Amino acid sequence: MASNFIIVGDDTYLRDKEEKKIRDKFLSREEIDLNYAVYPPEDFGKALDDLGTSPFLSEKRVAVIRDYDKLPEEGASSVIKYLEKPSPTGVLVLTSGAEFRKKAAYKKIAGHVTEISADKLTSNKVKAGIRKFFSKEGIEISPDAVDLIFDLKGADASSIINEIEKLAAFSGGERIETEHVERMVGRSVTETVFKLVDALGAGDMKMVFRVLNDLSAQKKQIPEIIGYLAWYIRTIQKIKFLSARGAGMDEMVRSAGKAAYRTAPVARKYTSSKIGKWLEFILEAETDYKKGRKTPALALEMLVVKLSGT
Protein backbone atom coordinates (compact mmCIF):
# COMPACT_ATOMS: atom_id res chain seq x y z
CA MET A 1 0.00 0.00 0.00
CA ALA A 2 2.86 2.36 0.78
CA SER A 3 3.95 2.33 -2.87
CA ASN A 4 0.54 3.11 -4.36
CA PHE A 5 -1.12 6.49 -4.07
CA ILE A 6 -4.16 8.53 -5.01
CA ILE A 7 -3.93 12.32 -5.15
CA VAL A 8 -7.38 13.83 -4.66
CA GLY A 9 -8.34 17.51 -4.97
CA ASP A 10 -9.27 20.32 -7.32
CA ASP A 11 -5.99 22.25 -7.24
CA THR A 12 -4.22 21.07 -10.40
CA TYR A 13 -1.00 22.80 -9.39
CA LEU A 14 -0.89 20.85 -6.11
CA ARG A 15 -1.79 17.61 -7.90
CA ASP A 16 1.13 18.08 -10.30
CA LYS A 17 3.43 19.01 -7.43
CA GLU A 18 2.50 15.87 -5.45
CA GLU A 19 2.96 13.73 -8.55
CA LYS A 20 6.50 14.99 -8.93
CA LYS A 21 7.24 14.52 -5.22
CA ILE A 22 6.27 10.84 -5.45
CA ARG A 23 8.25 10.40 -8.67
CA ASP A 24 11.35 11.98 -7.16
CA LYS A 25 11.00 9.91 -3.98
CA PHE A 26 11.38 6.64 -5.92
CA LEU A 27 13.46 7.66 -8.95
CA SER A 28 16.67 9.58 -9.43
CA ARG A 29 16.97 12.11 -12.24
CA GLU A 30 18.86 9.55 -14.35
CA GLU A 31 16.18 6.88 -13.81
CA ILE A 32 13.12 8.97 -14.76
CA ASP A 33 13.26 8.76 -18.58
CA LEU A 34 13.02 4.97 -18.75
CA ASN A 35 10.98 4.28 -15.62
CA TYR A 36 8.30 6.98 -15.44
CA ALA A 37 5.17 7.52 -17.53
CA VAL A 38 1.88 9.41 -17.29
CA TYR A 39 -1.31 8.00 -18.80
CA PRO A 40 -4.81 9.36 -19.49
CA PRO A 41 -7.68 7.28 -18.03
CA GLU A 42 -8.42 5.48 -21.29
CA ASP A 43 -4.89 4.04 -21.31
CA PHE A 44 -5.20 2.36 -17.90
CA GLY A 45 -4.31 -0.99 -19.49
CA LYS A 46 -0.98 0.32 -20.76
CA ALA A 47 -0.23 1.75 -17.32
CA LEU A 48 -0.88 -1.58 -15.60
CA ASP A 49 1.22 -3.43 -18.20
CA ASP A 50 3.98 -0.90 -17.62
CA LEU A 51 3.94 -1.59 -13.88
CA GLY A 52 4.28 -5.30 -14.57
CA THR A 53 7.47 -4.70 -16.53
CA SER A 54 10.75 -4.84 -14.65
CA PRO A 55 12.31 -1.40 -14.14
CA PHE A 56 15.38 -0.53 -16.20
CA LEU A 57 18.50 -0.02 -14.08
CA SER A 58 16.30 1.09 -11.20
CA GLU A 59 14.57 -0.40 -8.18
CA LYS A 60 11.17 1.05 -9.08
CA ARG A 61 8.96 1.91 -12.03
CA VAL A 62 6.38 4.70 -11.57
CA ALA A 63 3.14 4.98 -13.57
CA VAL A 64 0.59 7.79 -13.18
CA ILE A 65 -3.04 7.47 -14.28
CA ARG A 66 -4.56 10.93 -14.30
CA ASP A 67 -8.29 11.64 -13.94
CA TYR A 68 -8.93 8.28 -12.32
CA ASP A 69 -12.48 9.44 -11.55
CA LYS A 70 -13.20 9.31 -15.30
CA LEU A 71 -12.20 5.66 -15.60
CA PRO A 72 -14.98 3.35 -16.84
CA GLU A 73 -16.11 0.65 -14.41
CA GLU A 74 -14.07 -1.95 -16.29
CA GLY A 75 -10.93 0.14 -15.85
CA ALA A 76 -11.55 0.74 -12.15
CA SER A 77 -12.03 -3.00 -11.61
CA SER A 78 -8.75 -3.74 -13.38
CA VAL A 79 -6.90 -1.20 -11.22
CA ILE A 80 -8.33 -2.65 -8.00
CA LYS A 81 -7.43 -6.16 -9.16
CA TYR A 82 -3.85 -4.96 -9.72
CA LEU A 83 -3.75 -3.26 -6.30
CA GLU A 84 -4.85 -6.46 -4.57
CA LYS A 85 -1.58 -8.00 -5.76
CA PRO A 86 0.67 -5.13 -6.87
CA SER A 87 4.07 -5.49 -8.48
CA PRO A 88 6.81 -5.19 -5.83
CA THR A 89 8.77 -2.93 -8.18
CA GLY A 90 5.80 -0.81 -9.30
CA VAL A 91 4.54 2.50 -7.94
CA LEU A 92 1.04 3.40 -9.09
CA VAL A 93 -0.12 7.01 -8.74
CA LEU A 94 -3.77 7.92 -9.40
CA THR A 95 -5.15 11.46 -9.52
CA SER A 96 -8.70 12.78 -9.40
CA GLY A 97 -10.84 15.79 -8.57
CA ALA A 98 -12.35 16.28 -5.11
CA GLU A 99 -15.82 15.14 -6.18
CA PHE A 100 -14.45 11.61 -6.54
CA ARG A 101 -14.56 11.26 -2.73
CA LYS A 102 -18.37 11.17 -2.96
CA LYS A 103 -18.47 8.27 -5.41
CA ALA A 104 -18.75 4.57 -4.62
CA ALA A 105 -15.56 3.90 -6.60
CA TYR A 106 -13.63 5.98 -4.08
CA LYS A 107 -14.66 3.72 -1.20
CA LYS A 108 -13.63 0.67 -3.22
CA ILE A 109 -10.11 1.92 -3.81
CA ALA A 110 -9.46 3.85 -0.58
CA GLY A 111 -8.23 0.81 1.31
CA HIS A 112 -5.64 -0.05 -1.33
CA VAL A 113 -3.83 3.27 -1.68
CA THR A 114 -2.34 6.08 0.37
CA GLU A 115 -4.37 9.25 -0.15
CA ILE A 116 -2.69 12.63 -0.63
CA SER A 117 -4.80 15.77 -0.54
CA ALA A 118 -4.63 18.38 -3.29
CA ASP A 119 -7.59 20.44 -2.12
CA LYS A 120 -7.61 24.15 -2.82
CA LEU A 121 -6.16 26.16 0.03
CA THR A 122 -8.29 28.39 2.22
CA SER A 123 -7.85 32.15 1.96
CA ASN A 124 -6.00 32.22 5.30
CA LYS A 125 -3.52 29.56 4.16
CA VAL A 126 -2.95 31.29 0.82
CA LYS A 127 -2.30 34.64 2.48
CA ALA A 128 -0.03 33.01 5.06
CA GLY A 129 1.89 31.41 2.18
CA ILE A 130 2.30 34.78 0.44
CA ARG A 131 3.60 36.39 3.63
CA LYS A 132 5.98 33.48 4.23
CA PHE A 133 7.35 33.75 0.67
CA PHE A 134 8.20 37.44 1.03
CA SER A 135 9.58 36.93 4.54
CA LYS A 136 12.04 34.36 3.16
CA GLU A 137 12.99 36.86 0.45
CA GLY A 138 13.62 39.52 3.10
CA ILE A 139 10.95 41.79 1.58
CA GLU A 140 8.18 43.48 3.54
CA ILE A 141 4.63 43.40 2.15
CA SER A 142 1.64 45.27 3.52
CA PRO A 143 -1.46 43.34 4.68
CA ASP A 144 -3.56 45.16 2.06
CA ALA A 145 -1.14 44.12 -0.69
CA VAL A 146 -1.45 40.49 0.44
CA ASP A 147 -5.25 40.82 0.37
CA LEU A 148 -5.14 42.30 -3.12
CA ILE A 149 -2.99 39.47 -4.49
CA PHE A 150 -5.51 36.98 -3.14
CA ASP A 151 -8.48 39.00 -4.42
CA LEU A 152 -6.98 39.11 -7.92
CA LYS A 153 -5.68 35.55 -8.09
CA GLY A 154 -7.86 33.59 -5.66
CA ALA A 155 -6.56 30.21 -4.50
CA ASP A 156 -4.85 29.39 -7.82
CA ALA A 157 -1.46 28.36 -6.46
CA SER A 158 0.42 28.33 -9.78
CA SER A 159 -0.89 31.77 -10.74
CA ILE A 160 -0.03 33.22 -7.32
CA ILE A 161 3.50 31.81 -7.38
CA ASN A 162 4.09 33.31 -10.81
CA GLU A 163 2.91 36.75 -9.68
CA ILE A 164 4.72 36.91 -6.32
CA GLU A 165 7.97 35.86 -7.98
CA LYS A 166 7.55 38.78 -10.41
CA LEU A 167 6.80 41.14 -7.53
CA ALA A 168 9.87 39.98 -5.64
CA ALA A 169 12.11 40.36 -8.70
CA PHE A 170 10.97 43.90 -9.46
CA SER A 171 10.56 45.22 -5.93
CA GLY A 172 14.23 46.05 -5.53
CA GLY A 173 13.93 44.94 -1.91
CA GLU A 174 11.50 47.76 -1.12
CA ARG A 175 8.28 47.25 0.87
CA ILE A 176 5.45 46.11 -1.41
CA GLU A 177 2.22 48.11 -1.26
CA THR A 178 -1.10 47.78 -3.10
CA GLU A 179 0.03 50.10 -5.91
CA HIS A 180 2.92 47.74 -6.70
CA VAL A 181 0.53 44.80 -6.89
CA GLU A 182 -1.78 46.76 -9.20
CA ARG A 183 1.14 47.74 -11.41
CA MET A 184 2.68 44.28 -11.69
CA VAL A 185 -0.29 41.96 -11.30
CA GLY A 186 -3.51 43.58 -12.26
CA ARG A 187 -3.40 47.11 -13.72
CA SER A 188 -4.43 46.25 -17.29
CA VAL A 189 -6.76 43.53 -16.05
CA THR A 190 -8.50 45.70 -13.46
CA GLU A 191 -9.08 48.40 -16.07
CA THR A 192 -10.69 45.79 -18.30
CA VAL A 193 -12.81 44.53 -15.39
CA PHE A 194 -14.08 48.07 -14.82
CA LYS A 195 -15.11 48.21 -18.50
CA LEU A 196 -16.90 44.89 -18.04
CA VAL A 197 -18.78 46.10 -14.98
CA ASP A 198 -19.70 49.38 -16.70
CA ALA A 199 -21.13 47.38 -19.60
CA LEU A 200 -23.05 45.12 -17.20
CA GLY A 201 -24.48 48.18 -15.44
CA ALA A 202 -25.59 49.65 -18.76
CA GLY A 203 -27.11 46.35 -19.88
CA ASP A 204 -24.89 46.48 -22.99
CA MET A 205 -24.42 42.76 -23.59
CA LYS A 206 -22.65 43.36 -26.90
CA MET A 207 -19.97 45.32 -25.03
CA VAL A 208 -19.93 42.73 -22.22
CA PHE A 209 -18.94 39.96 -24.61
CA ARG A 210 -16.47 42.22 -26.40
CA VAL A 211 -14.72 42.88 -23.08
CA LEU A 212 -14.75 39.15 -22.26
CA ASN A 213 -13.01 38.57 -25.58
CA ASP A 214 -10.41 41.18 -24.56
CA LEU A 215 -9.76 39.30 -21.32
CA SER A 216 -9.45 36.07 -23.26
CA ALA A 217 -6.91 37.78 -25.54
CA GLN A 218 -4.91 38.63 -22.37
CA LYS A 219 -4.68 34.84 -21.82
CA LYS A 220 -7.06 34.99 -18.86
CA GLN A 221 -8.85 31.71 -18.13
CA ILE A 222 -12.58 31.74 -17.41
CA PRO A 223 -12.22 30.80 -13.71
CA GLU A 224 -9.79 33.73 -13.38
CA ILE A 225 -12.29 36.11 -15.03
CA ILE A 226 -14.98 35.01 -12.57
CA GLY A 227 -12.42 35.64 -9.82
CA TYR A 228 -11.92 39.21 -11.05
CA LEU A 229 -15.66 39.85 -10.84
CA ALA A 230 -15.56 38.54 -7.26
CA TRP A 231 -12.62 40.90 -6.55
CA TYR A 232 -14.64 43.84 -7.90
CA ILE A 233 -17.72 43.25 -5.77
CA ARG A 234 -15.62 42.57 -2.66
CA THR A 235 -13.85 45.88 -3.30
CA ILE A 236 -17.23 47.61 -3.52
CA GLN A 237 -18.21 45.91 -0.25
CA LYS A 238 -14.98 47.12 1.40
CA ILE A 239 -15.47 50.70 0.15
CA LYS A 240 -19.05 50.81 1.45
CA PHE A 241 -17.87 49.57 4.85
CA LEU A 242 -15.11 52.18 5.02
CA SER A 243 -17.47 54.92 3.83
CA ALA A 244 -20.02 54.04 6.51
CA ARG A 245 -17.22 54.39 9.06
CA GLY A 246 -16.51 57.89 7.77
CA ALA A 247 -13.18 56.97 6.15
CA GLY A 248 -11.66 59.42 3.70
CA MET A 249 -10.26 58.64 0.28
CA ASP A 250 -6.70 58.26 1.59
CA GLU A 251 -7.75 55.45 3.94
CA MET A 252 -9.79 53.81 1.17
CA VAL A 253 -6.80 53.83 -1.16
CA ARG A 254 -4.56 52.37 1.53
CA SER A 255 -7.05 49.57 2.09
CA ALA A 256 -8.35 48.86 -1.43
CA GLY A 257 -5.56 50.24 -3.59
CA LYS A 258 -6.03 52.69 -6.43
CA ALA A 259 -9.17 50.79 -7.41
CA ALA A 260 -10.80 52.89 -4.69
CA TYR A 261 -10.71 55.91 -7.04
CA ARG A 262 -12.91 54.00 -9.50
CA THR A 263 -15.15 52.17 -7.05
CA ALA A 264 -15.87 54.86 -4.43
CA PRO A 265 -18.03 57.04 -6.75
CA VAL A 266 -20.23 54.08 -7.77
CA ALA A 267 -20.31 52.14 -4.48
CA ARG A 268 -23.44 53.96 -3.32
CA LYS A 269 -25.35 52.40 -6.24
CA TYR A 270 -24.76 48.96 -4.75
CA THR A 271 -27.22 48.11 -2.01
CA SER A 272 -26.45 45.34 0.47
CA SER A 273 -29.03 43.24 -1.38
CA LYS A 274 -27.33 43.79 -4.72
CA ILE A 275 -23.90 42.95 -3.31
CA GLY A 276 -25.37 39.79 -1.79
CA LYS A 277 -26.88 38.80 -5.15
CA TRP A 278 -23.57 39.31 -6.94
CA LEU A 279 -21.73 37.16 -4.41
CA GLU A 280 -24.46 34.49 -4.61
CA PHE A 281 -24.36 34.36 -8.42
CA ILE A 282 -20.54 34.25 -8.49
CA LEU A 283 -20.43 31.42 -5.95
CA GLU A 284 -23.06 29.54 -7.95
CA ALA A 285 -21.02 29.92 -11.16
CA GLU A 286 -17.84 28.72 -9.44
CA THR A 287 -19.63 25.72 -7.95
CA ASP A 288 -21.25 24.81 -11.27
CA TYR A 289 -18.01 24.58 -13.26
CA LYS A 290 -16.00 22.99 -10.42
CA LYS A 291 -18.57 20.23 -10.00
CA GLY A 292 -18.95 19.75 -13.73
CA ARG A 293 -22.59 20.83 -13.85
CA LYS A 294 -21.68 23.42 -16.49
CA THR A 295 -18.66 24.06 -18.66
CA PRO A 296 -16.64 27.10 -17.49
CA ALA A 297 -17.74 28.99 -20.64
CA LEU A 298 -21.44 28.35 -19.99
CA ALA A 299 -21.06 29.19 -16.29
CA LEU A 300 -19.49 32.55 -17.17
CA GLU A 301 -22.08 33.34 -19.84
CA MET A 302 -24.97 32.64 -17.47
CA LEU A 303 -23.23 34.62 -14.72
CA VAL A 304 -22.90 37.83 -16.73
CA VAL A 305 -26.52 37.55 -17.88
CA LYS A 306 -27.64 37.27 -14.23
CA LEU A 307 -25.38 40.13 -13.11
CA SER A 308 -26.70 42.41 -15.84
CA GLY A 309 -30.20 41.90 -14.47
CA THR A 310 -29.43 42.86 -10.87
282 vs 255: CA distance, rounded Å? 23
Q: In CATH, what number is assigned to the domain containing residue 36?
A: 3.40.50.300
Q: What is the pLDDT of residues 150-174, one digit of tens each?
A: 877 777 777 788 788 888 888 878 8
DSSP annotation of 100:
G
Domain boundary among 75, 93, 117: 117
109 lies in the same domain as 128: no
68 lies in the same domain as 141: no
pTM of the model: 0.57
Q: In CATH, what number is assigned to the domain containing residue 189?
A: 1.20.272.10
69 lies in the same domain as 47: yes
Looking at the structure of the chain, the number of domains it has is 2
Most distant CA atoms of the chain, gap in Å: 72
Among residues 175, 173, 149, the alpha carbon closest in space to that of 161 is found at 149
200 vs 46: CA distance, rounded Å? 50
Domain housing 255: 123-308
Q: What is the pLDDT of residues 71-109, one digit of tens each?
A: 988 899 999 999 999 999 999 999 999 889 988 889 999
Q: What's the mean per-residue pLDDT of the chain?
A: 87
287 vs 99: CA distance, rounded Å? 11
**HSE-CB of 31 using CA atoms within 13 angstroms:** 16
Domain boundary among 73, 100, 117: 117
9 lies in the same domain as 72: yes
Segments of the chain with pLDDT less than 70: 1-2, 185-189, 218-219
List the beta bridge partners of residue 39: 65
180 lies in the same domain as 32: no
Domain boundary among 117, 146, 164: 117
